[in-house]
Amino acid sequence: MSFEILDTLFFSTVIAAAFRIATPILFAALGEAVAERAGMLNIGIEGMMALGALGGFLGAYWSGQLWIGFAAAVVVGILAGLAFGYITIERGADHVVTGIVANIFCFGVANVTYRFLFAGTKDIPQIPTMRPFRMPWLSDLDFFGRAFFSHLPIVWVAIALIPIFWFLLARTKWGLNVRAVGENPAAAETAGVDVWHVRFSAIAVGGGMAALGGATLSIAQLGAYLDNMTAGRGFIALAVVVFGGWRPARIAGACLLFGGAEALQLRLQAIGVPIPNALLTAVPYLLTIVVITAFAGTAAYPAAMNQVYRRNRPTRRLRPHNTAVTEDSSRPTMSVDSPPVPCTSSLPPQ
């Protein structure tokens, strides 16, 4: 073991790798943050990433254009998000259960589709991976060139989306609506916000971004589609959203922290520092949790997360047609027309 490797070259490659590792997670996390802000808990993003990885790969493989691949992935992701929205918003299903089903379903669809298309082909389909975007002068700098200015174009897209998402959520009417709908849909509706549309648009953004993250893996980084290639990155994104307090900048920081820790541990392991490999492997996860919980403060969940909202719609569709159902039944629904029943004491009188 030797530490002469710990020079500027070493740290510049760690920073560059941190951005590469963070990018797919950052895409998924930014989208998920928007969805959750609107009260949509989509734990199906792991599967949607896989779907995006396949959709993006197919688009790029058949067209020969990487950017068409990314566009295809976003379309697939939006469709997956809208399907999730249909089941949860329109049909009123539980978000967690739907998310679990979405994961299983998306993985199944992606893997089976890939097999169906390419089973028996002699040559495994591959595409050339994305090349780094070189900037004049900046990319030739010794430390900063390697660390910050040799990224893939898709990394720059991810970086650009951080302020865009902040702006969308914090400074636009749509963002305000999203946040209102996620906190109190009934009040938002009273104020004239179309909860149904806002939630559908938020979940579409979430699905599209998750798929973009998956496509980053398949198109930009590997040039191939592999079963389960997302390998838990969607779940990491879910955690990052919470630890980042649903704020784009903090989420980006958390992703970079995770990526940096992962890049560092891979390098420390390689040069043989006398720390057990199992512990080093866990470092990115532990560090992200510790640092973010220490600095993020007390961020609260959007109040209406995973709550079904019905805009004066009959709920019969989930029940047998001939059953008479009133609006506020056992299911935790909120409605403008039926405010919560005042809590009356069920205790017997003294």
Partner 1 sequence: MKRGIQFLSIIAAVGIVTTAQAKEVKVAYLPCGQINDHSWSETGYEGMKLAKEALAADGIQMTLDYTESLQAAQVEPAARDYASRGYAAVVLHCATFSGGALNAAKAFPNTKFLVSTSPDTKDLPKNFWFYDASQQEASFLAGYLGGLMSKSGRVGAIGGFDFPALVRQVEGFRLGARFANPKMKSFATYINSWEDAGKAKEAAQAQIDSGADVIFAATDQAARGAFTAAENSNAFAIASYTDQANLAPKNILTSVLYDYPRLVKMMVVMAVEDKLEVGKAYAMGVTDGVGDLAFNPAIDSTIGPTVKAKVASLAADIKAGKIKVPMLSKPNEAEGVNLDSLAAK
Q: Give the pair of three-digit tokens for residue 277.
A: 């490999």
Q: Does 261 interact with partner 1 (rule: CB under 8 A)?
A: no
Q: Does 179 interact with partner 1 (rule: CB under 8 A)?
A: no
Q: Does 224 interact with partner 1 (rule: CB under 8 A)?
A: yes
What is residue 65's three-state secondary structure? coil
Nearest to 49 by CA among 279, 317, 238: 238
CB atoms within 10 A of CB 280: 18
Q: Does 119 interact with partner 1 (rule: CB under 8 A)?
A: no
Q: Does 269 interact with partner 1 (rule: CB under 8 A)?
A: yes
Q: Does 279 interact with partner 1 (rule: CB under 8 A)?
A: no
Q: Does 126 interact with partner 1 (rule: CB under 8 A)?
A: yes
How would you class 177 by CB atoms within 10 Å of its CB: exposed for 0-12, middle for 13-18, buried for 19 or more? buried
Q: Could you tell me if 175 and 205 are in contact, meaning their C-beta atoms sit under 8 angstroms apart?
A: no
Say which residues have a Cβ less than 8 Å from residue 287's Cβ, sequence separation at least 6: 257, 258, 261
Q: Is the dihedral of CA 204, 205, 208, 209 positive or negative?
A: negative
**DSSP 8-state code for residue 285:** H
Minimum distance, C-beta of residue 70 to partner 1, in the bound complex (Å)? 17
From CA 143, how far away is CA 122, in angstroms rounded? Answer: 44
From CA 262, how far away is CA 170, in angstroms rounded? Answer: 31
Minimum distance, C-beta of residue 54 to partner 1, in the bound complex (Å)? 14
Minimum distance, C-beta of residue 27 to partner 1, in the bound complex (Å)? 13
Which span (71-79, 275-283, 285-293, 324-332) binds partner 1, by CB under 8 A? 275-283
Minimum distance, C-beta of residue 204 to partner 1, in the bound complex (Å)? 26
Q: Where do we find the tokens 């992606």?
A: 110
Which one among 24, 44, 260, 302 touches partner 1, defined by CB under 8 A?
A: 24
Q: Does 142 interact with partner 1 (rule: CB under 8 A)?
A: no
334 bridge partner residues: 309
Q: Does 231 interact with partner 1 (rule: CB under 8 A)?
A: yes
Which span (97-105, 111-119, 260-268, 333-341) binds partner 1, by CB under 8 A? 260-268
Q: Does 211 interact with partner 1 (rule: CB under 8 A)?
A: no
333 bridge partner residues: 308
Q: Is the dihedral of CA 170, 307, 41, 287 positive or negative?
A: positive
Minimum distance, C-beta of residue 17 to partner 1, in the bound complex (Å)? 6
Q: Does 151 interact with partner 1 (rule: CB under 8 A)?
A: no
Which span (3-11, 94-102, 156-164, 323-331) binds partner 1, by CB under 8 A? 3-11
Q: Does 333 interact with partner 1 (rule: CB under 8 A)?
A: no
From CA 174, how far away is CA 167, in angstroms rounded? Answer: 10
Minimum distance, C-beta of residue 13 to partner 1, in the bound complex (Å)? 4
Say which residues have a Cβ less than 8 Å from residue 226's Cβ, sequence separation at least 6: 218
Minimum distance, C-beta of residue 156 to partner 1, in the bound complex (Å)? 18
Minimum distance, C-beta of residue 82 to partner 1, in the bound complex (Å)? 27
Angle between helices 248-271 and 8-37 in degrees, nearest 10? 140
Q: Does 226 interact with partner 1 (rule: CB under 8 A)?
A: yes
Q: Where do we find the tokens 């069920």?
A: 346
Q: Does 13 interact with partner 1 (rule: CB under 8 A)?
A: yes
Residues 50-89 interacting with partner 1 (rule: CB under 8 A): none
Q: Does 287 interact with partner 1 (rule: CB under 8 A)?
A: no
Which alpha helices (DSSP H) does 224-345 contain, by range? Answer: 233-243, 248-271, 277-295
**Binding footprint of partner 1 on the chain (CB under 8 A):** 5, 9-10, 13, 17, 20-21, 24, 123-124, 126, 129, 217, 221-224, 226-229, 231-233, 262-263, 266-267, 269-272, 276-278, 281
